[in-house]
């Protein structure tokens, strides 16, 4: 499984996503769009070395990246805070899936969502309708890798 984080502003969230990827055995982390890249002190602080062990690449053009991954036979699974999408608990995804996350204020742009093979959401019981991207990444990867 691989992960794409798209247009993430917070360097601390980027570092936390590296940690999540390490925790759940992710093979590659793509830092897409304007997402910052290591080395940055804020990323290093929250990554706690995961940025040194998780293979990563910066991919400015998300659509070109997704097209390339699809050509490689990967299934693109996007996460959004839209309850009309199936719950992460209700579906299985292929082991070679690429899991895609956007930023919290805007989510993923419609043209990026249209490139996904499947869109999922994380059910929430409280009054808030979204999670911090690093939290969503951790919850989603836990749910997807425990099956």
| pLDDT of res. 50 | 97
| pLDDT of res. 106 | 84
| pLDDT of res. 92 | 87
| pLDDT of res. 34 | 97
- List per-residue pLDDT tens for the chain, 147 residues long: 999 999 999 999 999 999 999 999 999 999 999 999 999 999 999 999 999 999 999 999 999 999 999 999 999 999 999 989 999 998 888 889 999 999 988 899 999 999 999 999 999 999 988 899 999 999 999 999 987
User: Alpha carbon of 30 to those of 53, 65, 89, 124, 130: distances in Å?
Assistant: 14, 9, 24, 26, 22
User: Alpha carbon of 141 to those of 39, 64, 69, 77, 79: distances in Å?
Assistant: 24, 24, 19, 11, 11
Give the Cα separation of 62 and 58 in Å (integer): 10
| pLDDT of res. 142 | 96
Q: What is the pTM of this model?
A: 0.95
- Which homologous superfamily does the CATH classification assign to the domain defined by 2-145? SPOUT methyltransferase, trefoil knot domain (3.40.1280.10)
Question: What does DSSP say about strands 118-120 and 56-59: parallel, antiparallel, or unpaired?
Answer: unpaired
């Amino acid at each position: 499984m691989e992960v794409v984080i798209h247009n993430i502003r917070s360097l601390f969230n980027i570092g936390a996503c590296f940690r999540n990827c390490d925790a759940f055995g992710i093979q590659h982390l793509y830092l897409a769009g304007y997402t910052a890249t290591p080395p940055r002190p804020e990323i290093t602080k929250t990554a706690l070395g995961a940025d040194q062990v998780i293979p990563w690449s910066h991919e400015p053009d998300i659509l070109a990246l997704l097209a390339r991954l699809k050509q490689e036979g990967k299934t693109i699974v996007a996460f959004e805070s839209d309850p009309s999408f199936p719950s992460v608990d209700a579906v299985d995804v292929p082991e070679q899936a690429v899991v895609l996350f956007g930023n919290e204020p805007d989510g993923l742009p419609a043209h990026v969502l249209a490139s996904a093979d499947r869109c999922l959401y994380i059910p929430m019981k409280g009054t808030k309708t979204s999670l911090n991207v690093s939290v969503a990444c951790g919850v989603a990867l836990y749910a997807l890798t425990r099956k």
